[in-house]
Amino acid sequence: MASHDHFARPIKERTSELRSATFGARTVTVLHCTAVLFDCDGVLVDSDSAVVRSWTRWAHEMNLDPEEVLPTVYGRRSLDTVAQFISPSKRSAAVELIDALEIEDAATATEIPGAAELLAAIPPGRWATVTSASRDLAHARLSAAGLTAPEVLVTAGDVRHGKPHPEGYLAAAQRLGVSADQCVVVEDAPAGIRAARAAQVRHVLGVGSRDIGEHQPDALVPDLRSVRWTSAGLEIQ
């Protein structure tokens, strides 16, 4: 599949749109937008332990080294990761196995700090979730974390191409009735950041401490406790 990075606007152009102000010792950055598109795992729910357990079990079942498999799974659909390691004749069964293992362990997911408060503050119809998980898995993990799934939920089965392709984010923006360049994407993984850039969203907010390499967001926070919704967009303190 061809890279879509060439669609992304230059970093200098994107960051020039950030608005920051200092109040005493406190700096506030505003990512202007009319809608927010959230990834799920690592952004709204903490499922890292479950991911490691499930994919490690899967790798052993497939006679693969988990240390080779695990770095490839974050931010991608299970079928895309499976296709990287398993021959075509065995992929269907391999996908069924990892999907079953992840559903089995979904109840261990917890809320990313600040997620519930932020989502409650955003008006209905102004946010969506775009995830590489299946619909059943996304609902299971959101429920385990005490979060309600949004009206617009784009999952692995809703797109022909998973992240880093921009299809998911473009579809979510369309379903919200806004253009992608009016959106902020909140992501934690390189594949998702690349998808957001390829969709030409206005800004990308990174969450967490995952190694994102060269795929830098416009702003980065450890979790969502410092992020607020305002009439202008997302405000980061």
Annotated catalytic residues are 39, 41
Report the SS3 class of residue 70: helix
Question: Could you give phi then psi for residue 227, rounded to 5 degrees?
Answer: -105, 130
Give the burial string for 219-232 (b: 16+ CB within 10 Å, else e): bebebbeebbbeee
Contacts of 195 (CB under 8 A, 6+ apart): 4, 130, 163, 164, 165, 166, 168, 169, 185, 187
- DSSP letter at 131 equals -
Question: Could you give phi then psi for residue 210, rounded to 5 degrees?
Answer: -65, 145
CA angle 62, 66, 69 (to 5 degrees): 85
Instruction: Name the strand (E) or helix (H) holding 103.
Output: helix 88-104
Report the alpha-carbon distance of residue 205 to residue 17 in Å, rounded.
Answer: 13
- Give me 106's structure tokens: 């979904």
